[in-house]
């Protein structure tokens, strides 16, 4: 099968050179807008492109307020801060995620609690979440959940839309409200992914998107906080911009803030990339369908969107029969210049999170041993019959 994949992607991308997993595509107004920032000298934290980019994201996702940030990790850090996460709190998330999810909560002084994922979504499983809380939590007089042993408050639940595939949000929201825990979505990978017609990242009180170079669209580095409430959105902007009270020349800051502003230079790139987003999504969906056909009837299962979801198919992925078959597949494809990569190691295997509380992680372990990402860059030339 690895030979079939190698032939397919080499034909699809019309090259025998190295084929990476995901690279940026600049085919529209990127140079024009970036040059505008240089010509105007507004390359830093002030400039029209930041506002424009935030508005584009608001219109596209339907969120009440979008606040640009310097990267996705900073956006998630801000989202957790705004959701009220405090030092000593517990934050429930997936062991199957990129480390940035846990880094953001760690830097709030919180501790991660790992709960299993669903095999349907690859994201946090609502049943596993409820079971974990039934076994380990009680609801206090204020309506918040605390850990039965340590009394720590479970302050937030952070599901992550793995590779752009939306988690089961309705069910997760029911569990979160049953236990009085805030929902914060790590939507870093899911710009362009919808759950039952609503954009991911608009369900939680706060969410974070990433525009890192490997994402569906990029600003070089960048992120966005999505805020469900307009007023909370204004407050979010305030704290990401040093909490400075507006004044023509006086410095007065009325609370602790971050300097997480996205520079205008990066936002200019983002504005142009947003114009191309619908095209990228179409191309990515086409590629996913081709992969689905390619792997049909083989020992590898192509990961498709769930029935309730429209995925952006950010990173295409397959499930191998077992760890040994995956090892061979990864070795062979990389040896032929086609980049493939195993999914992340589970977070509790990393030294800094090895003592974290966790529930049973059977699905996470199954996926960890078998899933591989395959090249996913959207491509014009992919319009051919490759």
Ligand X SMILES: Cc1ncc(COP(=O)(O)O)c(C=O)c1O
* 236/240 Cα distance (integer angstroms): 6
Q: Does 373 bind ligand X (CB under 6 A)?
A: no
Question: Residue 106 or residue 144: which is nearer to ligand X going by CB?
Answer: 106
Question: Residue 1 or residue 21: which is nearer to ligand X going by CB?
Answer: 21
CA-closest candidate to residue 192, choices 210, 219, 205: 210
DSSP result, 302-326: E----TTEE----SEEEE-SSHHHH
> Binding mask 138-167 vs ligand X (x if CB under 6 A, - otherwise)?
----------------------x-------
| DSSP 8-state code for residue 190 | -
Q: Does 100 bind ligand X (CB under 6 A)?
A: yes
Q: Match 């990267």 to its residue by tokens.
A: 71
> Binding mask 13-42 vs ligand X (x if CB under 6 A, - otherwise)?
------------------------------
Cβ at position 100, least distance to ligand X in Å? 3
Cβ at position 322, least distance to ligand X in Å? 26
Round the CA-based radius of gyration of the chain to a whole number and report it: 21
* 382/9 Cα distance (integer angstroms): 9
Q: Does 73 bind ligand X (CB under 6 A)?
A: yes
HSE (side-chain half, CA atoms, 13 Å) at 355: 2
Question: Residue 145 or residue 212: which is nearer to ligand X going by CB?
Answer: 212
Q: Does 101 bind ligand X (CB under 6 A)?
A: yes
User: Which position among 97, 118, 240, 312 is part of the footprint of ligand X (CB under 6 A)?
Assistant: 97
Residue facing ligand X at closest CB distance: 72
**CA distances for 125 relative to 57, 95, 235, 356, angstroms:** 28, 11, 31, 18
Cβ at position 167, least distance to ligand X in Å? 12
User: Which position among 54, 116, 130, 189 is part of the footprint of ligand X (CB under 6 A)?
Assistant: 189
User: Which position among 24, 72, 233, 359 is part of the footprint of ligand X (CB under 6 A)?
Assistant: 72
Cβ at position 314, least distance to ligand X in Å? 9
Question: Residue 97 or residue 273: which is nearer to ligand X going by CB?
Answer: 97
* 30/324 Cα distance (integer angstroms): 43
Binding segment (CB under 6 A) for ligand X, from list 42-50, 67-75, 257-265, 320-328: 67-75
Structural tokens at position 83: 């959701």
Helix (H) or strand (E) holding 183: strand 182-186
CA-closest candidate to residue 224, choices 106, 105, 79: 79
Q: Does 47 bind ligand X (CB under 6 A)?
A: no
Question: Residue 79 or residue 153: which is nearer to ligand X going by CB?
Answer: 79
* 113/355 Cα distance (integer angstroms): 10
CA-closest candidate to residue 4, choices 333, 385, 289, 304: 333
Question: Residue 85 or residue 153: which is nearer to ligand X going by CB?
Answer: 85
Cβ at position 178, least distance to ligand X in Å? 25
Q: Does 333 bind ligand X (CB under 6 A)?
A: no
* 208/222 Cα distance (integer angstroms): 11
Cβ at position 212, least distance to ligand X in Å? 4
Binding segment (CB under 6 A) for ligand X, from list 10-18, 42-50, 181-189, 196-204: 181-189
Question: Residue 77 or residue 237: which is nearer to ligand X going by CB?
Answer: 77
Structural tokens at position 157: 């639940």
Question: Residue 212 or residue 340: which is nearer to ligand X going by CB?
Answer: 212
Burial zone of 170 (CB within 10 Å; 0-12 exposed, 13-18 middle, 19+ buried): exposed
Chain residues that interact with ligand X, rule: CB under 6 A: 71-73, 76, 97-98, 100-101, 160, 186, 188-189, 210, 212, 223
């Amino acid at each position: 099968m690895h030979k079939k994949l190698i032939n397919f992607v080499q034909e699809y991308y019309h090259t025998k050179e190295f084929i990476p997993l995901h690279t940026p595509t600049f085919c529209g107004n990127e140079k024009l807008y970036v040059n505008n920032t240089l010509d105007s000298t507004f390359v830093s934290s002030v400039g029209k492109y930041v506002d424009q980019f935030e508005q584009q994201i608001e219109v596209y996702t339907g969120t009440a307020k979008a606040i640009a940030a310097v990267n996705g990790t900073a956006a998630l850090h801000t989202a957790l801060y705004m959701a009220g996460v405090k030092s000593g709190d517990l934050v429930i998330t997936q062991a199957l995620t990129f480390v940035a999810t846990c880094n953001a909560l760690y830097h709030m002084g919180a501790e991660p609690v790992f709960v299993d994922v669903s095999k349907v979504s690859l994201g946090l499983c609502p049943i596993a979440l409820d079971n974990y809380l039934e076994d380990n939590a009680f609801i206090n007089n204020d309506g918040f959940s605390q850990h039965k042993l340590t009394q720590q408050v479970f302050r937030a639940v952070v599901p992550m839309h793995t590779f752009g595939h939306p988690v089961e949000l309705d069910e997760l929201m029911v569990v979160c409200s049953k236990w009085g825990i805030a929902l914060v979505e790590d939507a870093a990978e899911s710009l362009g992914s919808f759950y039952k017609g609503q954009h991911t990242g608009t369900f939680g009180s706060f969410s974070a998107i990433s525009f890192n170079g490997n994402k569906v669209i990029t600003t070089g580095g960048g992120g966005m906080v999505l805020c469900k409430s307009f007023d909370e959105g204004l407050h979010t902007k305030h704290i990401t911009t040093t909490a400075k009270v507006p004044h023509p020349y006086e410095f007065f800051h009325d609370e602790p803030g971050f300097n997480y502003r996205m520079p205008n230079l990066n936002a200019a790139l983002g504005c142009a990339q947003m114009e191309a987003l619908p095209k990228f999504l179409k191309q990515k969906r086409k590629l996913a369908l081709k992969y689905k056909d390619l792997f049909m009837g083989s020992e590898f299962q192509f990961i498709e969107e769930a029935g309730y979801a429209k995925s952006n198919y950010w990173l295409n992925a397959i499930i191998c029969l077992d760890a040994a078959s995956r090892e061979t597949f990864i070795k062979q494809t990389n040896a032929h210049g086609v980049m493939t990569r195993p999914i992340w190691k589970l977070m509790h295997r990393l030294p800094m999170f090895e003592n974290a509380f966790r529930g049973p992680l059977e699905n996470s372990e199954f996926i960890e041993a078998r899933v591989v990402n395959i090249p996913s860059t959207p491509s014009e030339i992919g319009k051919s019959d490759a």
